[in-house]
Amino acid sequence: MSHLTYPTSIAEINARQWSTFQPYYEELEQRPLSPKNARQWLADWSHLQELLGEASSVIYVEKTLDTTDEEKEQAFLDMVNNVWPQVQVAEQQLKERLLALNLPDEDIALMLRQLEAEAALFREENVPILTELAKLSNEYDKITGGLKAEWNGETKNLSQLGVFLRDPDRAVRERVWHMMMDLWLGQRQTLNDLYAEMLHRRHQMARNADLSDFRAYVFQDYGRFDYTPDDCLTFHDAIEAVVVPAATRVYERQRARLGLTDLYPWDVDVDSYGQEPLKPYQGQDQLFTGSLRVFQKVDASLASYFRLMGDESLLDLETRPGKALGGYCTTFALRKRPFIFMNGVGIHEDVQTLLHEAGHAFHVFETEKLPLIWQRDAPMEFCEVASMAMELLAAPYLTKANGSFYSPPELARARLEHLEGIIKFLPYMAVVDAFQHWVYTQPAEAANADRCDAVWNSLWQRFIPQINWAGFAAARMSGWHRKPHIFESPFYYIEYGMAQVGALQVWRNSLQDPAAALQAYRRALALGGTQPLPALFEAAGAEFRFDTEMLVELVDLIEETVAELVPLVA
């Protein structure tokens, strides 16, 4: 038993200094360890990880809420420079001590498998490289979060400008698209240089770990035990065979409704019925209240989780100048609470984003009773099932009659946007993932930004050939700049595609038996990381497979539902 008293709140500590955490790591390193006392030792280590994790999450959240605040950025950099390098070395020592015991405990077997993979990958010379990569990711956030332009006399960031891509007036859409592309292309050389720095460091990490390339490094680091790189390529081929033709049908309907000869990049987000974009809410309070009423229809317990997030100020939903791009759900591990960050501007996509991130939040709540932090850490491929399935399970309840957002015709439009968006998304996912397979297995070529542009362009034409980019080759080829995952979370994207296949199966089941499907969904979430990936999918009522036959079944279901929704649009 530790003689140290562990802090119960990050308010008690200075998370920017290694000296805050050092005594706890040293005590765990020096404490006698045997199978008899291993579980208490693990419990103490888990608590330390919760403390460190929550401190890190809070500092990251604060930094992304305002990328212009130098003090918040410095707090992040202090942790990156002063704490994380020391933590990585200390964690390796603890992993080696634990693994040397060869514990037979079945309930932590998967946890031990992951720790073993991480320990085998660790090289002390990679610690400073990871520190540098964190700083480079911070630079990407600063560059992209700072992009803004004058629009009709007001300064707007990229999230705010993007609203006008939905304007029924094509001239408005084209003007704002050019404005946004000019902002991105103005940073083209800066982003090329930044990515080259990242690639160099990642390739060096793989070499230091005696691996052939960074793809092999990531697959081990991410714990991808249940599929291989070849499985990803097979998934790409299935998407090309099944989903790309379905996407062509979606785009062709859109082109015909808009009365256009060709769809240009500024035509893909507009309502194809020529109606004003859906404007479901004004301000964070309306978004929260309308979403709460949706969750009350889905499941009372899930709604109580969401209400608690509101009571405890665990959401920041509106965009504003200086806020980092995108949306995420992170965990305050010590409190066992989620936090949702997003850039709402009053459109349907915001509703969809909140439903998605709430699915992640529910995952946090459902796993809170698992004793060890590693047991609560599910594979990311299944974490995204939690979020994407929630988008689909909640969709029928987004009605004004339910105190939420939409009239029946508006709901039909919202659901069409969502379901057709899934069809459009899977080919894009394949572009992002296939691009990274090339980047990290051909590091010498990928160091040349022109080659990156060429490969991205080739993949785009393979998977998304329906849009006319004539005259705008520079914007199309540099599209990889506009996907933060490529810079900040390398190889983290196939998870979205795999999870979408799982989520669609959960939705399919809900159409037959809503109560049973929801019960299976919650039961699977509560397993956390205590089961392998295929077993988590099975618990949710889904199969972990991504072949052509599976995609045909799910695409058919989407297209049948779309056909039923189209007549309901006013």
Instruction: List the structure tokens of 377.
Output: 């850490």
> What is the average pLDDT value for the chain, to the nearest integer?
96
Averaged pLDDT for residues 202-224: 96
pLDDT of the residue at 2: 56
Percent of the chain with pLDDT over 70: 99
pLDDT of the residue at 570: 64
Q: Which of 184, 168, 28 is nearest to 91 (CA)?
A: 28
- Does the structure show a pLDDT above 70 at 418? yes
Tens-digit pLDDT profile for residues 114-151: 999 999 999 999 999 999 999 999 999 999 989 999 99
pLDDT of the residue at 327: 92
Tens-digit pLDDT profile for residues 145-159: 899 999 999 999 998
Task: Tell me if 356 sits within 8 A of 175, measured CB to CB.
Answer: no
Averaged pLDDT for residues 158-167: 92
Task: Tell me if 190 sits within 8 A of 139, measured CB to CB.
Answer: no
Give 102's contacts (C-beta < 8 A, 6+ positions apart): none
pLDDT of the residue at 325: 84
Where are the chain's structural domains? 10-104
Buried b (16+ CB within 10 A) or exposed e, 69-105: eeebbebbbbbbbbbbbbbbebbbebbebbeeeebee
- Does the structure show a pLDDT above 80 at 3? no
- Does the structure show a pLDDT above 80 at 244? yes
- Does the structure show a pLDDT above 70 at 228? yes
DSSP characters for 34-81?
A: -TTTHHHHHHHHHHHHHHHHHHHHHHHHHHHH-TT-HHHHHHHHHIII
- Does the structure show a pLDDT above 70 at 4? yes
Give 446's contacts (C-beta < 8 A, 6+ positions apart): 199, 438, 439, 440, 452
Q: Which of 390, 386, 393 is nearest to 536 (CA)?
A: 386
